Amino acid sequence: MATYKIDASHSEIGFKVKHLVISTVSGNFSKFDATMEAEKSDFTDASISFEADVDSISTKSEQRDGHLKSDDFFNAEKHPKITFKSTSIEKKDDNEYILHGDLTIRDVTKNIALKVEHGGSVLDPWGQTREGFELTGKISRKEFGLKWHALTEAGGAVVGDEVRLLINVEMVKQA
């Protein structure tokens, strides 16, 4: 069984959500950890676990980040981690997969599916094997209890419900 750990300095855990229906706000988490275990070289038997520290959220606005950490959204004080545990992986072709797993935000767990593109494998200058992956998907923030809602004068939502996930990770095979 091979074990891989995320290289946080070469990985990004990002998201995008509509603001006022007309534009998109991007954000990310700067503190996170992930482990992948697999016997097969095509990763079809991989077991993946991930967690992010809610307090590390950044949208380039201190005021907005504070609001996101409050009970209106993540409630970071009571629910400091977002977690994901894989349940299955479907191989679509040589480098594309669908990753199924349980995502927990606040105290709500839902099974989600993420598209995964395997960017390849490389032996780095220090003799370590690195695997690159890009994951994308969509979730409904309201399904996870992030229900804060406000309307503009015209009746449009201030914050959209759909959250697009954009994740790029480098996993390092452990000796």
Q: 45-71: per-residue pLDDT in tens? A: 999 999 999 999 999 989 989 988 998
Averaged over 3-21, what is the pLDDT? 89
Q: What is the pLDDT of residue 130?
A: 97
User: Looking at the 3D structure of the chain, how many domains does it have?
Assistant: 1
pLDDT at residue 152 greater than cutoff 50:
no
Q: What is the pLDDT of residue 67?
A: 87
Averaged over 115-126, what is the pLDDT? 96
Give the pLDDT confidence of 69-82 residue by residue, as tens digits: 998 889 999 999 99
Q: Please give the residue range of the domain that contains residue 69.
A: 2-173
**CATH number of the domain within which 36 lies:** 2.40.128.110
Enumerate long-range contacts of 35-41, CB under 8 Å, 24 or more apart. Answer: 35/3, 35/4, 35/5, 35/6, 36/3, 36/4, 36/171, 37/1, 37/2, 37/3, 37/4, 38/1, 38/2, 38/4, 39/1, 39/2
> Which of 92, 116, 14 lies closest to 58, judged by CA?
14
pLDDT at residue 119 greater than cutoff 60:
yes
Residue whose token pair is 């990770």: 169
Is pTM beyond 0.75? Reply is yes
Residue whose token pair is 């007309």: 22
Q: What is the pLDDT of residue 103?
A: 97
SS3 145: coil
